[in-house]
Amino acid sequence: MTLGSARSNASNQPKMVDYSGVKLNVSRETDVAAISPLDNDFDDSSPIASQLVNETKRRERLLGRKLPKPGRTRILTVANQKGGVGKTTTTVNMAAALASAGLQVLVIDIDPQGNASTALGVPHHADVDSIYDVLINDVSMAEVIAECPDIDNLYCAPATIHLAGAEIELVSLVAREQRLRRAIDEYVKFRANNGQERLDFIFIDCPPSLGLLTVNAFCAANEVMIPIQCEYYALEGLSQLLKNIEMIQKHLNSDLVVSTILLTMYDGRTNLAAHVAADVREHFPQQVLQALIPRSVRISEAPSYQQTVMTYDPSSTGALSYLEAAAELAERSIP
């Protein structure tokens, strides 16, 4: 399977327009009456037309692109103690993009809000066995993992409201910081013993805090992905987050590295977004992905249909941006 080939919900299927025998997906964000950029007489002088040309070229670069499987399972904790920067959105859409390309992907939702579980269409009401039972009651992760109904190769360990009290309950438990790591190791062995294909990526969606749940995620991972909103406040907390990661590296997980920074909610119409992006790239030239995630109505709408943007509107600008980010992540060498 190649990049961007996830199944799409029929009720949300984008319109198909035939341009000179070439089938193109046209997003609901794009005027269907727009002239094809493949036409030699196409005028790309207007902003909308220029954007259409740019997106068409970007899609052509991704068309049929096969992503390499990593040599070992990559476990990424998606973290930022500031809320509203796109952690969950980034987790589920990056996971969906990689799974749609044929890679085996697991999302572990350790945010008590359970938003990642919602976006992946996985039940997470109070009666469902969840990651809470794994952390607190020593339930096997294999018993709580569910398949995403919309995308093959994508799995989720859901979070329920019970997780809200896990921070307190973890305090008295033995090896409290390592419980998630142990559960993941056991699940990896379970898949191998049962002849299941090895996981290529594991994404851990964290709550917007630096408590014991996030510490468990840091101890379980070998990489950290930090989504940063292109606004000033998002930069303020970054130094504190990096200090906490350094403490984890020193005392609990020496293998942990900050491998990826993704700029989210980028608004190219503002100077502020451009300045923030430039500052982050200057300070972290190796970690920042070239792909930018724009502000997008489709990305925001998708969770209300219990979907990622990959299936809700696969031809939208937001889906294209996450496909680019996923391809860049997969093709980067592992630190």
Q: Tens digits of per-residue pLDDT, 137-155?
A: 999 999 999 999 999 999 9
Tokens matching residue 177: 């910081």
> Which of 149, 129, 128, 145 is closest to 137 using CA atoms?
129
Torsion of CA 52, 57, 60, 66, to 10 degrees: -120
Torsion of CA 209, 297, 149, 224, to 10 degrees: -30
Distance CA 150, CA 141 (A): 21
Beta bridge partners of 146: 156
Q: Tens digit of pLDDT for each residue in 297-309?
A: 999 999 999 999 9
Write down the pLDDT at residue 3: 66
Distance CA 59, CA 75 (A): 28
Write down the pLDDT at residue 15: 37
Q: How confident is the model at residue 2 (pLDDT cuts 50, 70, 90)?
A: low
Write down the pLDDT at residue 49: 76
Q: Tens digit of pLDDT for each residue in 8-61?
A: 454 454 433 332 333 334 444 444 333 344 444 555 566 677 777 877 877 777
- Which residue bears the tokens 């987790």? 91
Write down the pLDDT at residue 38: 45
Distance CA 289, CA 281 (A): 9
Write down the pLDDT at residue 231: 83
Write down the pLDDT at residue 238: 84
For helices 47-62 and 317-331, what crossing angle results, to 10°?
40
- What is the chain's Cα-based Rg? 20
Distance CA 138, CA 206 (A): 20
For a pLDDT cut of 70, what percent of the chain falls above it?
86
Q: How confident is the model at residue 83 (pLDDT cuts 50, 70, 90)?
A: confident
Q: Tens digit of pLDDT for each residue in 175-221?
A: 899 999 999 999 999 999 999 999 999 999 999 888 899 999 999 99
Distance CA 175, CA 22 (A): 58
H/E run at residue 217: helix 212-220
3-state secondary structure (DSSP) of residue 173: coil
Count of alpha carbons within 13 angstroms of residue 160, beta-carbon side:
17
* Angle at 14 (CA atoms; ends 98, 318), nearest 5 degrees: 45
Q: What's the N-to-C CA distance of the chain in angstroms?
A: 26
In this predicted model, which residue has the larger pLDDT, 181 or 1?
181
Average pLDDT over residues 82-96: 93
pTM: 0.85
DSSP state of 156: E
Average pLDDT over residues 305-316: 93
pLDDT at 128 over 70: yes
Q: How confident is the model at residue 5 (pLDDT cuts 50, 70, 90)?
A: low
